[in-house]
Amino acid sequence: MKMTPNAFLAAVREGRQQIGLWVSMSSNYAAEVVAGAGYDWLLVDMEHAPSDMGTVLGQLQAIAPHGSTAIVRPPWNDTVMVKRLLDLGAPGLLFPMVQSVAEAQAAVAACCYPPNGVRGVAGSIRANNFGRITDYYAKADDQTAVILQVETRSAVAQSLQIGQVDGVDGVFFGPADIAADMGLLGKHMSDEVWNLILPAARKLMDAGIAVGTLVTDPAFAQKLLAEGFTFVACGTDTNLLAKGADALLAQMRVATGKENT
């Protein structure tokens, strides 16, 4: 058995735009629901979701049959956690709060086997179909998506250098934390925030480096794709559920004359 190419990674490397959705509910059942929609990629979150290795495993298993590429965001740039997630079969990782070239290099090293990195070697793991994928060790480094998230003014200023680290497949701008770092907590869609992000993103694009982000405004997500962003998540499962539940209740209250209750 041969290793299946990473569809998301192939698309990003070829400049084909990828539409994604955030998966934060820590449930394999919920992950299966959204995976059936057919997004190009789904971000399985561990940083701001109550997920552990067991729940991530269930989500990866639920997503796998549906064609979306699951990218996992670990809670931190931690070599041990990275090793465990890759052994589980995560096709790629989004590293939060990368602040420097050195941290970028550490993230790449954690994803690569020696001599290219420091990833520990295990024989029978889910990632290699329990030893059945015969070329896994030869191809794993190249087929693992490594995406680095910049989330402060300092990181944005270094984003080109971070993106140019060998082995990095894309740079992801985190507008919520960038806004907070600018003293604009909760105002991540403000012009000031995007006036900082967009010029840095353009430098990365001009250098041939894929750029991504998460926004929950579909019109703005479309605008970013039109401006050259390669991978954009346009919503979150929790937000979709909350807004859908609120809208349905509001509709029923109006219909029954109970809108003021």
Burial of residue 64, with CB atoms counted within 10 A of its CB: 0-12 exposed, 13-18 middle, 19 or more buried: middle
CB 23 within 8 A of CB 36: no
CB atoms within 10 A of CB 242: 11
Cα-Cα-Cα-Cα dihedral sign, residues 97, 101, 102, 108: positive
If 0-12 CB within 10 Å is exposed, 13-18 middle and 19+ buried, where does residue 166 land?
exposed
From the candidates 27, 32, 48, 240, give the one annotated as an active-site residue: 48
Q: Is 48 a catalytic residue?
A: yes
- Going by C-alpha positions, the residue among 181, 192, 189, 185 that lies closest to residue 152 is 181
Query: How does DSSP assign 41-80, residue by residue?
Result: EEEEESSSS---HHHHHHHHHHHGGGSPEEEEE-SSS-HH
Residues in the chain: 261
Closest CA to 68 of 78, 57, 56, 60: 60
Which phi and psi angles does 217 have, rounded to 5°? -100, 105
Residues serving a catalytic function are 48
